[in-house]
Structure 1
Amino acid sequence: MFRSLVFHEIRPVEELNGQQRPIVVADGYEDALPLPLFDSLPLFQEQINYLKQEGFHSLSISEVRAFYEQGQPLPEKSVLLTFDDCYQSLKEYAYPVLKAAGFHATVFVAAGWLFEKPSSYQPEVSRVLSQQELAEMKNVFEYANHTTHFHERRGTTQSRPMWETPERFKEDLILCNDHVALTDVFAYPFGLYDQQTVAVLEELNFNLAFTTKPGINRKETAPLELYRDVIPYTLPIEAFKKMMETEEK
């Protein structure tokens, strides 16, 4: 069994000013990233240091796949580290911390959001990276499907895969797979999905898909509805440690 943690933005404390930041993406979609989806750099460093000191193993997707498909056991202390959306802070702050710790992570890529060329870090917005920059971080990150242009929402209850036709969703997924190595792994945009969404993934032979529902993933957990714990900047380090040490009853 294992926990999967999801991060979005890792920022220095001075950049966490209590304000939402607009996202800046290549396909022009407009939204704002809420503050609970940020994590402070000192806290992230403390979290990673704790995982390293306690002997946690950072899982690869191949290990998770083997756990579900072949019944391969996982190390006793296993954690899957994940990031969504590919914001500039992934390169600026998260990458160096993980590289120094010798940890690996999975990044879910909204391919239509990626820019053609790198640009300088912009702290006042949540700007997405370029394909080139992702390629430069392959020694730490592996990349999976997060849709191409379907990372959009209506309020807090619907993501675009839920209101589009299955045929259009399939086209979008196939297009995104041209930009990622892990073509059978998916994360639901905003954690929002329904059973039609799951059915499309099954039809396209996706083997793993991640929600944002908290919990421990066990052998009996549905592989297309895997749990991920969102880690916000408001989570105290002691609460983080307790979460990692506590098994569900």
Structure 2
Amino acid sequence: MFRTLVFHEVRPVEELYEQPRPILVADGYEDALPLPLFDSLPLFQEQINYLKQEGFHSLSISEVRAFYEQGQPLPEKSVLLTFDDCYQSLKEYAYPVLKEAGFQATVFVAAGWLFQTPSRYQPEVSKVLSKEELKEIADVFEYANHTTHFHERRGTTQSRPMWETAEHFKKDLLLCNEQVALTDVFAYPFGLYDQQTVDVLREMNFCLAFTTKSGINTPETAPLELHREVIPYTMPIEVFKTMMETEGK
């Protein structure tokens, strides 16, 4: 059994503003990242330190794949750390903390959002990294599919894979797979999906796909509907510890 944690932005406390922060992405999609998808840097450091001190093992995707496909057991205390969307804070703040702890993590890449060249860190927006910068931090992160241009939404109920045809979705997935190493692993944009989305992934031989539904992943969990815990800055460290202690038993 294991929990999967998902982070989006890790920021110093002084950069946590009380309003949604606009995103800045290469393909021009406009949206805003709400405050619950941010984690404060001090709290993130405390969370990672706790996992390290308590002997948690940070999983690789290959270990999760073997767990579901071959029944390979996982270490007693296992956690899969994930990040979505590749914002600049991934390199600026999350990377050094994870590297120091000796942890690895999986990043879900919206390939169409990546810039061609690096740029200065911009705290006033949620700006996405460049392809070159992802290579620079690949000793800690492995990269998986989060669509190319389909990371878009209509309100809070639909993501683009849900309203496009299956064929258009397939083409978008293939484009993203040209940019990532983990070509059979997916995270649903905004955690939104329907049966057509799942069917397309299965048809294209994706072996793992992650939701944002809370829960522990067990051998009985559907591999294309795996649970992930969204970790917001409002989660007290004691709540985090209790959640992880429950997983470790």
Query: TM-score, length-normalised on structure 2?
Result: 0.99
After TM superposition, give the deviation of residue 140 of structure 1 in Å. 0.1
Asked whether the equivalents of residues 108 and 146 of structure 2 are also in contact (C-alpha less than 8 Å), the reply is yes
Matches of 2:58 and 2:200 in 1, distance apart?
29
Asked whether the equivalents of residues 77 and 247 of structure 2 are also in contact (C-alpha less than 8 Å), the reply is no
Q: Tell whether 2:101 aligns with 1:101.
A: yes
Matches of 1:29 and 1:116 in 2, distance apart?
16
What residue in structure 2 maps to residue 83 of structure 1?
Answer: 83
What residue in structure 2 maps to residue 140 of structure 1?
Answer: 140
Superposition pairs of residues 5-154 of structure 1, within 5 angstroms: 5-154=5-154
The one-letter amino acid paired with 2:104 is H
Matches of 2:204 and 2:219 in 1, distance apart?
22
The one-letter amino acid paired with 1:69 is E
Matches of 1:159 and 1:218 in 2, distance apart?
27
Structure 1, residues 179-211: CA drift from partner, whole Å, max 9, x if none?
000000000000000010000000100000000
Structure 1, residues 144-186: CA drift from partner, whole Å, max 9, x if none?
0000000000000000000000000000000000000000000
**Runs of 5+ in structure 1 lacking a partner?**
none
Asked whether the equivalents of residues 78 and 248 of structure 2 are also in contact (C-alpha less than 8 Å), the reply is no
Structure 1, residues 78-104: CA drift from partner, whole Å, max 9, x if none?
000000000000000000000000000
Asked whether the equivalents of residues 77 and 248 of structure 2 are also in contact (C-alpha less than 8 Å), the reply is no
After TM superposition, give the deviation of residue 246 of structure 1 in Å. 1.2
After TM superposition, give the deviation of residue 247 of structure 1 in Å. 4.3
Q: Tell whether 2:169 aligns with 1:166.
A: no
Per the alignment, do residues 89 and 65 of structure 1 end up closer, same or farther by CA in structure 2, a change over 3 Å counting?
same
Secondary structure at the aligned position of 2:143 is classed as: strand
**Runs of 5+ in structure 2 lacking a partner?**
none
Asked whether the equivalents of residues 76 and 248 of structure 2 are also in contact (C-alpha less than 8 Å), the reply is no
Asked whether the equivalents of residues 216 and 248 of structure 1 are also in contact (C-alpha less than 8 Å), the reply is no
Aligned-residue RMSD, C-alpha: 1.0
What residue in structure 1 maps to residue 176 of structure 2?
Answer: 176
Aligned length in residues? 249
Identity %: 85
Secondary structure at the aligned position of 1:23 is classed as: strand
Structure 1 ranges of 4+ moved more than 4 A: none
Per the alignment, do residues 75 and 115 of structure 1 end up closer, same or farther by CA in structure 2, a change over 3 Å counting?
same
After TM superposition, give the deviation of residue 73 of structure 1 in Å. 0.2
The one-letter amino acid paired with 1:74 is L
Stretch deviating more after TM superposition (12-21 or 143-152): 12-21
Query: TM-score, length-normalised on structure 1?
Result: 0.99
The one-letter amino acid paired with 2:130 is S
Asked whether the equivalents of residues 215 and 248 of structure 1 are also in contact (C-alpha less than 8 Å), the reply is no
Secondary structure at the aligned position of 1:133 is classed as: helix
Secondary structure at the aligned position of 1:225 is classed as: coil
